[in-house]
Amino acid sequence: MTLLQKAVSPRLSRAYLEEGYDRVGGHVVRVADVRFARSVTDLAAVHGLHAPGSGWTADAAWVDLLRFDTTWAMRYLGEPGFAVPLWWLLPTRVPPGAQLVRRYADGGLELLARYGHVGTGWMPTDRERPAPVMAPLSVCAGPVVRWRGTHIEADLVDGSVILATSTEPDPTQGFWPGAPGRWYRQVDPSEVDDVLVLDVTATWRGLRVRVVDQVLRDGRQVAHIVPAADDVDAARGRGMRALDADVLDAWVDLDELAVLRSQRLEAPAGAHWQPPAPAHDDSPLPVPELEAEPGAEGAAGPSTGTAG
């Protein structure tokens, strides 16, 4: 697996810690490529924090970073020509084991929260900070599996499959309370099949978008949409909300969408859900500073295409 890193705006960091937001997308880099960037200034340069909407200022006391391993369900668009290799990650659910860390101007590093898995959600390291109520799950954002004839959101953790739901299940189904707003159950991989990601795209006001959720609201079918490509200016110009410089979304009536298409992205056979992508080698990329500092803690490649 390959460890990736994304700088997140103060608004997005609060969404993770306080609102239970559990999506990730936009520009990412490999941690191995940016180990030299330990100051706020260096991080601003490699992550493009000078861009409008980043929430960063030159006198910022820190930068928050999301670090996470790749999974087979992630897809990337390559963007050559930057100081370090840069990819645009198509929005997906935060993968298990992700860490939200804060790099201070003096070089110090603080671990703010861990994302255990789809069932536990975000777990703040500050014991005085309550765990956030997690946002409702969607089969259009992240891996799902078929279990007992029903498709359900899932993660693979330490060789076991974690099933999760936002709706309190019948006690006989064996689910346990997890994060506020989540229930989960651990099963053996042999108990599930049809491991996939559902990719739903559409056109909205001439912009290609991905549908990451669909709900009934006030008697109307509404869709949660995000840009399907790195076209921030076009998305912003059409009125999408900016959570970050490159993370935009909107809730729209379903009938505003045209050319709705869906495809199944199935897990590769024998991949254990975790092929390396994007990577320049296949070796693990540990983050030693998180362990060392007290209190802190197709195929993919650099060309345009898909991972997984």
For 127-136, the pLDDT digits (tens) are 899 999 999 9
pTM (2 d.p.):
0.82
Q: Say if 210 falls within a structural domain.
A: yes
Phi, psi (rounded to 5 degrees) for 107: 95, -10
Angstrom distances, CA of residue 118 to CA of 19, 105, 235, 301 = 15, 32, 28, 27
150 and 115 share a domain?
Answer: no
pLDDT of 21 strictly over 50: yes
Interatomic CA distance for residues 304 and 298, integer angstroms:
11
107 and 90 share a domain?
Answer: yes
Q: Say if 15 falls within a structural domain.
A: yes
16 and 127 share a domain?
Answer: yes
| CB of 184 closer than 8 Å to CB of 119 | yes
- Please report which confidence band the pLDDT of residue 79 belongs to, taking 50, 70 and 90 as the band edges: low
Q: Say if 221 falls within a structural domain.
A: yes
126 and 162 share a domain?
Answer: no
Q: Say if 100 falls within a structural domain.
A: yes
Mean pLDDT within 117-134? 94
Domain boundary among 195, 217, 233: 195
182 and 248 share a domain?
Answer: no
- Sign of the alpha-carbon torsion through 278, 279, 284, 285: negative
- Please report which confidence band the pLDDT of residue 267 belongs to, taking 50, 70 and 90 as the band edges: confident
Q: Say if 77 falls within a structural domain.
A: yes
Mean pLDDT within 180-207? 93
Q: Which residue range forms the structural domain that includes residue 255? A: 197-265
92 and 69 share a domain?
Answer: yes
Higher-confidence residue of 107 and 96: namely 96
